[in-house]
Amino acid sequence: MRWAYLPSALYMAFAAYVWIDFTHTARDGLANLGLLLATFPVAALGVVLTSALGQSGFVLIPSGMGYYTAHAIYFWPAAVLTAYLLYVVCSAPMWLWRRIIRSRQNRS
């Protein structure tokens, strides 16, 4: 079960690298692309929400704040949520295996 934390921990290290890289790039759309690709599941949900609401800007990045502040408000919660989803996916096989073993033990 301890191994289920490893992909999430590695992902958070990758997210820290992506953020540092973002802060050292030019303020253009390509810098934003790196953040969105690193948090793909949340970004996909954001694209769907943006389209459904008919907005012109990405709805998960707030406007009216500083450039880095607005992106940090999107990126870090999205990175934590993505790491949690990765943990759930990686721990699901062990959880299912334990349920199968328990059900077979109860039948005996």
pLDDT digits (tens, 9 = 90+) for 86-95: 999 988 888 8
How many Cβ atoms are within 10 Å of 47's Cβ, its own excluded? Answer: 14
Kindly list the distances between the CA atom of residue 46 and the CA atoms of 5, 26, 31, 74, 83, in Å, as whole numbers in the listed order: 26, 23, 17, 10, 17
Tokens of 27: 């303020």
Q: From first to last of its 108 residues, what are the pLDDT tens digits of the chain?
A: 578 789 999 999 999 999 999 999 988 878 889 999 999 999 999 999 999 999 888 999 998 899 999 999 999 999 999 999 999 998 888 888 877 777 777 776
pTM given for the model: 0.83
| Beta-carbon contacts of residue 61 (< 8 Å; ≥ 6 apart) | 32, 70, 71, 73, 74
Q: What is the DSSP letter of 56?
A: S
CB 1 within 8 A of CB 91: yes
